[in-house]
Structure 1
Amino acid sequence: MAESRAAHRYAKALLDLAIEKGIVEQVHTDMQLLADTCEENRNLVNLLQSPIVSHYKKFAVLRDIFKSRVSADSFSIFEIITKKNREEILFDVAKEFHSLYNDYKGVQVAEVITTFAVDETLRNQFKQMVTKSTGKTTVELKEKVDTGLIGGFILQIGDKQIDESVKGKINRLKQQMSKA
């Protein structure tokens, strides 16, 4: 929990700095690069979280990977976090920054799970559902395929879930029958 609060504070400070300097989009791109790199390379995350690897070596790895690929302002957060010996929260800072960025820009993130790949028409219908539910006109829709749903969909909007899957309906029917 302490890591989560610390990641939020660092991400908030970085967003405030980016807003002040007018470089929000650049910093968002940089933090997305960090998050994507961490998601694709579990070894990097393990290295950053390892108590055995020195902070100097962790910073050297970060410098080699990101120094030429991110802005100086974004890289400064890497330096600050490394100097504070908190490298293990860098990935969380990047994810938290994305969340704060979405709030700042008025973007609603939603996830839809279906039994098949969604086409553009259906994607737009899901986005309209999210807009109707939240009032936010900009929607970032993450799509997943799960054939275990049998049919239908599950739409996750923040902490709200709309389960219109066949599997969900069967489970609700089972619960109702077991209560009777």
Structure 2
Amino acid sequence: MKMISMSYGQALFDLKVSKEDRQNAAKILRESEELQKALVNPTISKEEKEKVIDKLFPPEIRNFIKVICRNDDAQCLLEAFDYCEVLIQKEEQILTGTLYYVTKPEEGQLARIREYLKKEYQAEQVELELKEDASLIGGFILKVRDKVLDRSLRGKLEKMKQNLAWR
């Protein structure tokens, strides 16, 4: 992530824009590649960009987006939104992760995973994104921050291959 994106993300965090408005603005940007290209395009006047911003984005966040466009940094918008979310999660002690599985875990299993993560990362809340991945053959992979816990059958087979190759 670029430093400029992090600076804008910090500014958005400091503005305390509502979660709904942040999410709506990010969704509008993510869903329209044409809009992203238009905001970055130097041949489109700043006035035209601001008219589009006024029509599409929630009032609470318009000025933030306009400032970024005036500074010719519109390519940083999505990263700024992402970094703002990281700062909010850190402040609220929310941990996010992804659980890849073959067989969807039961609620009890998910509750134990969340409790483990709360203790391990001193988090108040854990949000897990669940993704089915049949290529794991069995077991699961848990990704949190920069750590990966691989308890999949595919991972075990790969380790066995590596161990055999070293002999």
Interval of TM-score (by shorter of Structure 1 and Structure 2)? 0.7 to 0.9
- Pair 1:174–1:50, CA change in 2 (3 A): farther
Conserved? CA contact 1:81–1:90, under 8 Å: yes
Q: Which of 68, 91, 106 matches 2:78?
A: 91
Q: Secondary structure at the match of 2:129?
A: strand
- Cα shift at 1:85: 1.4
Q: Which of 154, 158, 162 matches 1:171?
A: 158
Give runs of aligned pairs for residues 19-98 of structure 1, distance below 5 A: 26=18, 28-66=19-57, 69-71=58-60, 74-98=61-85
Query: Structure 1: how far apart are the matches of 2:48 and 2:102?
Result: 45
Give runs of aligned pairs for residues 104-119 of structure 1, distance below 5 A: 104-119=91-106
- Cα shift at 1:86: 1.1
- Cα shift at 1:168: 0.8
Task: For structure 2, list consecutive stretches of 5 or more residues without a partner in the other structure.
Answer: none
- Percent sequence identity is 26
Conserved? CA contact 1:32–1:98, under 8 Å: no
The residue type paired with residue 22 of structure 2 is M
Task: For structure 1, list consecutive stretches of 5 or more residues without a partner in the other structure.
Answer: 19-23
Which position in structure 2 is the counterpart of 1:13? 11
Conserved? CA contact 1:31–1:97, under 8 Å: no
Alpha-carbon RMSD across the aligned residues, in angstroms, is 2.0
Query: Structure 2: how far apart are the matches of 1:12 and 1:166?
Result: 41
Give runs of aligned pairs for residues 117-156 of structure 1, distance below 5 A: 117-156=104-143
Q: Secondary structure at the match of 1:60?
A: helix
Give TM-score scaled by structure 1 length: 0.81
Conserved? CA contact 1:55–1:85, under 8 Å: no
Greater CA deviation, 56-65 or 168-177?
56-65
Give TM-score scaled by structure 2 length: 0.87
Query: Structure 2: how far apart are the matches of 1:57 and 1:148?
Result: 48
- Pair 1:77–1:168, CA change in 2 (3 A): same
Greater CA deviation, 45-54 or 85-94?
45-54
- Cα shift at 1:53: 4.0
The residue type paired with residue 6 of structure 1 is I
Number of residues of Structure 1 aligned to a counterpart in Structure 2? 167
Query: Structure 2: how far apart are the matches of 1:46 and 1:143?
Result: 32
